[in-house]
Amino acid sequence: MFEKILIANRGEIAIRIIRTCRKLNVKTVAVYSDIDARSLHVREADEAVHIGPSPSPSSYLVHEKIINAALAKGCQAVHPGYGFLSENAAFAAAVVKVGLVFIGPSSQVIAELGDKISAKNIAMKAGVPVVLGHNLPIVDIEEIRSLAAEIGYPILLKPAAGGGGRGMRMVATPSDLESALQSAQDETRKAFGDDRIFLERFIVSPRHIEIQIIADQHGNVISLGERECSIQRRYQKVIEESPSLAVDATLRSRMGEMACALAREAGYSNAGTVEFIMDDRKNFFFMEMNTRLQVEHPVTEMVTSLDLVELQLRVAAGEPLPISQEDVSIKGWSIEARICAEDSARNFLPSTGLITRYSNLRGRNIRLDSGVEAGSFISVYYDSLLSKVISWGETREKARTTLINALNRYHVEGVTTNLDFANSILNHPAFIKGELSTGFIDECFEDGEAKIDPPMGQLEAMVLASTTVYHNRKNLVRESLKPMAAKVGLSHKSAQLYRYVVKGNKNIFDVELQGQLSSPDWRVRVNGTEHAVVVPVFEFYRRRLKLSIDGVDQYFRLQYRQNFIWCAHCGISRILEIYTPREWELAQYMPKEKKGASVNVLLSPLPGMVVSILVNKGDRVYRGQDLVVIESMKMECGVSSPCDGVVENVAATIGKAVETDEVLITFTT
Amino acid sequence: MQRPEQDNLTKLESMKEEAFLGGGAKRIEAQHRKGKLTARERIDLLLDEGSFEEFDLLMTGRAGQSSGIGEFPGDGVITGHGTIDGREVFIFSQDFTIVGGALGEAHAQKICKVMDHAVRVGAPIIGLNDSGGARIQEGVESLAAYGEIFHRNVQASGVVPQISCVMGPCAGGAVYSPAITDFTFMVENTSYMFVTGPNVVKTVTHQDITAEELGGAMVHSKKSGVAHFAFPNDILCLREVRRLINYLPSNNRQQAPILDLRDPAERTDPALDYLVPANPNQTYDMKILITSILDGAEFLEIHPHFARNIIVGFGRLGGQTIGLIANQPAVLAGVLDVQSSEKAARFVRFCDAFNIPLVCLEDVPGFMPGPEQEHGGIIRHGAKLLYAFSEATVPRITVIIRKAYGGAYDVMNSKHIGCDMNFAWPAAEIAVLGPKGAAQIIYRKEIEEADNPEEMLARKTEEYRITYANPFMAAKRGFIDDVINPRDTRHRLIRSLQFLENKRTVRPQRKHGNIPL
């Protein structure tokens, strides 16, 4: 085993690797750019080397800097993590050239599997099915018929000309082929004057299923089950699980064998992932092979009780695999949620800033792989993944509820995260039923909100929690002020029943509370249903609340927003407006909130000099996104978009002085 | 035959019934249609349920010289007292449904009566303004009446907190009562304040301008600073008044309330260690620090939209109400200018008048340069802040977060003008001017004569930064009491407030100072 390795990465994966190294008594060397000088991974490692400016092309991606750091610190191997240089054949070669070990497959294998065509060839040679298609346009019906039979139904007819789905036809059976072709050709001829057609296999409700393998340098290859990663947005995975509902034991061993065959064919060593696309009839086709540790590797570790990083290190050090295929068993179920700094409501726009509050997660069957802490600064330079929350349960349902409960009490403040979005996926009926496909998010969500209404029970729990906190705080204020109130005629009557009306978006709730400030037992009625609530001693600076409702512990995240309360629970987040009955009665007279006239121009808020412009004409921008940086009083200050829209014109010029209220950018909204 | 007292009882009932209806159902409906609540509904929301006791329900005006105007029970204003979370306050609420809430003699007498009561017993005065202005039919009597109110506003200033909510029109002389009171709230779209209305503006200057553009809530809360708060509707406005009152003592003889939100004094925040960016030219948001250190992360910001380069407002530390003044590096680098100096100065004087300790979080690059500022009188406006701090006798604590340069260092509650405790974060830079500017002056000759002046300037700048731009020089002199770990800021502030709880300062006898107004 190695004595010391360099980790050519940052964030959660660097910390994840360090964890295993500690266990194996391997010393670690971290690398960091300017902005990462105070990052968590730097402090966790035994040693750290500065490798340059913040942009990754000048630091984390510079081969020489990383190799020199490894040599200078006396490392024997380099672990690339994922991303950055992990699938860079030239880097792997350079590492080996100076006498270090690259923890991953050989440079040649990386290159071969990294190329789409040669990877496909290797797969076919290994007998792995690939998505068949025909890359020459054709017109002749007989030719199409025979090709379609070869590719397999259903097939997709794609016009050679045009785009936007015009003239596309899905053909389910050979008998439909002729008429479908006819109408496709008619349409595309009319529209584009061209009737040539491409053919390809049509994948119905595609699922993304991948097989984890590990291979040593002695020819042993084993597979460690599958992961389902169908829940994706913009080709980025959000929720991953292992095993998959779409895969049974027979299919698992068949897919596993295929993946191992492919790895053998390629001469692969170390951990790798073979990605397949699967249709609704469980036909699966090879897509690509990832020659590195995957972000979602923890779900495999949770169900196999293996440490993949440990296996990676052992294999790279030349040891034979300590286990054989028969030793691998899949136990229970594991689900992972990726927590990213991004705004799900604004097309997943990355969010940056200082993490001002952060609560670590602990608990049975919960694993948190995090790269951040309170005080971490999320910059524009690197990817937006903050952490991964992974759960385990005997069944999928148990793993799911455990993860939901964990996310309900996981709090990250300072940057916008997809925490509630990820949680709402886990709570979605289609996810519960396991009706997954890569189109899941587009089908079930819009602007980060589920298209269906959230369950009333969860909303009511949120209303109950918020109102109980609100009422207790109000009472506490009253108690505190008592010494300053009049002593004459001091009355001791205390109302037995407190009523509130709570508004959250379009829902209205009637709430009645019954209880004493001095006692933890409250009876709370929400829309007529009574609940027994045991309240803790409220500490009002906390953002997390654990409340026992009808004997079940539930977790909420909440925050005072002036006179109202923001609450998040099970993927729903709402500002709850809590009114007294009299206020609610009078609220009907209040003017409807006017939508302010949309501002479609960005003005300079201060005099200064434009130092950078972050968008171009035609870019889609969102409210709150920084568009221009102005230097004033020797300080750089970002000017953010006042609206959602498209950049119509950039009036500002870099290096030019601007006055207050000078037009910087105009938009069309 | 009925006994006389029964007769009177029936009569009283009908008189009250009439009074409660104000200007009648039709006018009430009109008020609601405008998105406004009636004077009585507003009182309902502002005060604890059932606590309102009314004065002078039966008082009427003399109907003026021309007897065309009838007598109205209550004369267009509802006055009395009630409680907010158990504490007494005095209140007047103008009734727009009765002759447009116009102010006449009796109307003003009622207001004066509650003000007199409030000062006598030491309880806050809250005015809900919704009035078309002076009752012209009453002539000079209504002007006299305004004068009586203004005079009482001034007499009460610094004795009891005075709060004005402008919830409808407030024009002409009437604006000066809210102007004198401590805090002015406005409601968006339904309220406006101006000395002369759009019609007069049109006649005199030929400018076309709407009432909203001339004196609406957003104009006054963003541009003029006349309003401290603006809210979208009556309900939210009145809720915020209740919230504000809970920070304040009832009068200048009381200490501010201690409100225990169960937030541990020892609570530390590791994120604060990373708040100040490594690059001194990068900004950060001071509000992160503010919400981190205050009890329950609750901060009531005053003037949130006006002169945003300085933040002022109320919070609590260990339960104790404090007045917080903080430079905001995220806006104009936190520089002091005419508006921010005035904003902070008035706030400091309020806190001093009502025994509210001052906590100052400092990150100030200096005063705003330029002819606009100099000609606008930055000298005398900056002097207001200097004066206000120097004069304050309440416990005063300053934490220098990053920059404390030049005169602005002295002005921002420095040790030299009487602050009790002055802490600094390790990133603090306390010096006469910024490193680059200082190097340019001190080493001008060397830089000019160097082969590579740019490089020499950079070197000398760095030298200066290391020698002077740090908290240690000031700590050696005792101007800084301690350089603290950012994460401990809350705890250190609370410990200081504890030992300062019984601070007494005796000033020499004088009628009053002469603040450069």
Higher per-residue confidence, B302 vs A652: B302
Residue-level pLDDT at A300: 97
Which residues between 519 and 548 in chain A have a beta carbon less than 8 angstroms from any beta carbon of chain B? 537-541
pLDDT digits (tens, 9 = 90+) for A473-517: 988 888 889 888 888 876 666 667 899 999 998 899 999 999 887
* Per-residue burial over B460-470, b = 16 or more CB atoms within 10 Å of its CB, e = otherwise: bbeebbeebbb
pLDDT of residue A492: 60
Sheet holding A657-658, edge to edge: A635-640, A626-632, A608-613, A657-658
pLDDT at A335 over 60: yes
Residues of B recognised as catalytic? 172-173, 407-408
pLDDT tens profile A63-101: 999 999 999 999 999 999 999 999 999 999 999 999 999
| Catalytic option among A47, A257, A265, A288 | A288
Looking at this predicted complex, what is its ipTM?
0.91
Report yes or no: A482 at the B interface, CB cutoff 8 Å.
yes
Residue A669 has pLDDT above 80, yes or no: no
Closest B-chain CA to A560: B298
The CA distance from B419 to the nearest CA of chain A, in Å, is 27
- Name the pTM for this structure: 0.89
Cα–Cα distance for residue pair A465/A457, rounded to 1 Å: 12
pLDDT at A49: 96
Q: Where are the alpha helices (DSSP H) in B425-501?
A: 435-442, 444-449, 453-467, 472-477, 489-499
CB B99 within 8 A of CB B76: yes
Q: pLDDT digit string (tens) for A591-634? A: 887 655 557 888 887 777 888 888 888 888 887 778 888 877 66
Per-window interface: A 335-374 vs B, CB < 8 A: 354-358, 373-374
Which of A357, A582, A590 has the CB atom closest to B233's CB atom? A590
CA-to-CA dists, residue A75 to A1, A446, B463, angstroms? 12, 49, 37
| B32 and chain A in contact, CB less than 8 A | yes
Residue bearing the bigger pLDDT, A600 or A303 = A303
pLDDT range class, residue A563, cuts 50, 70, 90 = confident
The reported pLDDT for the residue numbered B154 is 97
CA distance B152 to B108: 11
Angle at the Cα of A123 from the Cα atoms of A119 and A126, rounded to 5 degrees: 140
Q: Which amino acid makes up residue B365?
A: P
**pLDDT score for A606:** 72
A36 contacts in chain B (CB < 8 Å): none
Strand order in the sheet with A169-171: A133-138, A197-201, A155-159, A169-171
- What is residue B61's predicted lDDT score, i.e. its pLDDT? 79
Number of neighbouring beta carbons within 10 Å of residue B454: 9
* Per-residue model confidence (pLDDT) at position B1: 59
pLDDT in single tens digits along all 517 residues of chain B: 567 767 888 888 888 888 888 888 999 999 999 999 999 999 999 999 999 999 999 888 776 555 556 678 888 999 999 999 999 999 999 999 988 888 988 999 999 999 999 999 999 999 999 998 888 888 888 889 999 999 999 999 999 999 999 999 998 888 999 999 999 999 999 999 999 889 888 888 888 899 889 999 999 999 999 999 999 999 999 999 999 999 999 999 999 999 888 899 999 999 999 999 888 788 899 999 999 999 999 999 999 999 999 999 999 999 999 999 999 998 989 999 999 999 999 999 999 999 999 999 999 999 999 999 999 999 999 999 999 999 999 999 999 999 999 999 999 999 999 999 999 999 999 988 888 888 888 888 888 888 888 888 888 888 888 888 899 989 999 999 999 999 999 999 999 999 999 999 888 899 999 999 8
**Mean pLDDT throughout A555-578?**
92
Amino acid at A70: A
* pLDDT single digits (tens) A532-544: 999 888 888 889 9
| Residue from the list A356, A376, A583 with its beta carbon closest to the beta carbon of B235 | A583
Model confidence pLDDT, tens digit, residues A418-474: 999 999 999 999 999 999 999 999 999 988 889 999 999 999 999 999 999 999 998
Distance from the Cα of residue A283 to its chain's centroid: 27
**pLDDT of A166 higher than 80:** no
